[in-house]
Chains A and B, each alone.
Chain A
């Protein structure tokens, strides 16, 4: 099972920071994601495409986890060497494709 089977997500940015949100479909899925998507696990996955540490924020009342990577987009969106602009919008798939459970 992948994260995308039990959660919806969205990626955004602010300056150099990449900002990822994952929202579970129910309480049980949240508990599983809360155990599996640790800061270390998410950083390891994310570092395959973007540099730097990852900070996690858990929001149990909304069955949601947030991950902020403050140095993942050096120079901001417009300094990126990825094809075209705004690759970071697709970055949520790094988390959605992770195996859980």
Chain B
């Protein structure tokens, strides 16, 4: 029945730091016509923006070479197109870097398209921000859609790199020339993209059905990444390579379908508003699920914008550990001692809790009867500057000398205070452009 499928797309990456080996396996298999590599989370772009400000040729994904060096040769051999947002804050420079890398690898002749236009920082006053802009705007990027990636794909690009784009668009764009052109087929392509955009999250990663045997460590270490075999109407079979460990079933597909979509009857993408409530999943084979039924519910008049605001100060995040009989009691004692030492810190700017007890879910953590053998006191504090951060850090270290017995294994980190802001911009204000390079 293979002839009913018009195109196959795989997920080679689902976040900036994703594993690189599965993309290579998918490209080598010859079973995918295109690979989407989603490498740009909301804030991943911030260091890229700063790098570009310091050096106009910088600002692409720092993992570009690591990710593409093993991938370009097999992709060229099997004719697998690559679509990725690893252009980050500088897609044109990323395009040139991919061309240079391809030449180094002997992959001459491949055509690389870099799509720019998502950077709307200069249009900051035309953006309807969800919250007031409070602080220095580091950058603002609109989410472009599959429509912006389509022209270079139709023109035959072997590699398409962009910056901020809807994650689902990276996977939907290469499908579109092969579908029937109906609005619902577009909705289905975007649904396929959404199912694939987090790579292993649809094949058994970050997943538990407590009544079934979980995947083993070996399975998770070699987890197969998803493939979608797509029909002209956009409906698709979601699966993996035959020998890949993992699970693709109604549950893994449904949990991923609904992931981060908010209203499932109106999932807003740059290309279309998609209704997921009409989607149906049917198990049609081992690790193979048929997806049908998403509906097109119109085109949004605006594009979403992610802005980043640097706020004054930093977050100091520290832990100090306790072990042995009474570890939890001594950790609690240390926490109370630290609260006394830092009692003048504004209440909303400090959090003190215990790793092993309540550092993740706070008051919603369900207590257990078993006493932990080791626990760690955690403190995070908003600090106006480095001098203030040092005060918090010194108070934690002082617990090793003047606190409860045996405190140690201290670790600390400092994080910049960056707020993410959401805004919307009229779609006609965002004008994508394409820059070509040939290896």
Contacts and interface: CB of A to CB of B under 8 A. Distances in A.
B277 A25 contact: no
A8 B255 contact: yes
A78 B251 contact: no
Contacts of B217: none
A4 B210 contact: yes
B48 interface: no
B366 A97 contact: yes
Given A57-B263, A62-B258, A66-B258, A25 B364 contact: no
Main secondary structure of the interface of A (DSSP, over half): mixed
Contacts of A77: 42-43, 420
A80 B359 CA distance: 12
Contacts of A10: 201, 206-207, 255-256, 258-259
Contacts of A37: none
Interface residues of B, number: 56
B261 interface: yes
A62 B257 contact: yes
Interface string A60-94: 01111010100000011111111111010111011
Contacts of A79: 315, 417-419
Interface stretch (B104-112, B375-383, B397-405): B375-383
Instruction: Sort chain A's interface into a size bin.
Output: 35 or more
A78 B209 contact: no
A90 B360 contact: yes
Nearest to B353: A83
B262 interface: yes
A2 to B, nearest CB: 9
Interface in A24-61: 25, 45-46, 48-49, 57, 59, 61
B215 interface: no
Given A8-B207, A19-B260, A49 B363 contact: yes
A8 B206 CA distance: 10
Contacts of B257: 62
A34 to B, nearest CB: 14
A83 B419 contact: no
B380 A83 contact: yes
B319 A83 contact: yes
B211 to A, nearest CB: 7
B225 interface: no
B264 A76 contact: no
B251 A25 contact: yes
Scoring B261, B351, B361, B415 by chain A CB atoms within 10 A of each residue's CB, the highest score goes to: B361
Contact of A25 (B43, B211, B365): B211
A101 to B, nearest CB: 15
B355 A83 contact: yes
B317 interface: yes
Contacts of A12: 259-260
B254 interface: yes
A91 B210 contact: no
B30 to A, nearest CB: 32
A20 to B, nearest CB: 9
B277 A94 contact: no
A83 B257 CA distance: 29
A90 B358 CA distance: 12
**CB-based closest 6 A-B pairs:** A12-B260, A76-B420, A48-B363, A81-B351, A48-B364, A21-B258
Given A15-B422, A76-B42, 20 more contacts: A5-B210, A8-B207, A9-B255, A14-B262, A23-B255, A46-B364, A48-B361, A48-B363, A57-B265, A61-B278, A62-B254, A62-B264, A66-B261, A79-B419, A80-B380, A81-B315, A81-B382, A83-B355, A83-B380, A94-B361
19 contacts: A10-B201, A10-B207, A10-B258, A14-B262, A15-B420, A21-B255, A21-B259, A46-B364, A49-B363, A57-B264, A64-B254, A68-B263, A77-B420, A78-B420, A81-B315, A81-B350, A83-B355, A87-B361, A94-B364
